[in-house]
Amino acid sequence: MSAVNLRAVWGHRPLLSVGVSVLILDEYGRVLLQRPGDDGL
């Protein structure tokens, strides 16, 4: 459902969304892995 269709159904009330990201760091603080949660994997 697109944002336009969602707004047509939901109106202008606040729309809450939840997301998560994970960063794995090595002992030097370098990023080893970053995987966004919205990529469908």
- How is the chain split into domains, by residue range? 3-34
What's the rounded mean pLDDT across residues 25-31?
A: 89
Res 34 pLDDT > 70: no
Tell me how many degrees the CA angle 4-11-21 measures, rounded to the nearest 5. Answer: 65
What's residue 28's pLDDT?
Answer: 94
pLDDT digits (tens, 9 = 90+) for 10-27: 888 887 878 877 778 889
Question: What pLDDT score was predicted for residue 23?
Answer: 79
What pLDDT band is residue 1 in, cutting at 50, 70 and 90?
low
pTM reported for the whole predicted model: 0.33
Half-sphere exposure of 5 (CA within 13 A, CB side): 2
Distance CA 36, CA 21 (A): 6
Six-digit token pair at 7? 């707004």
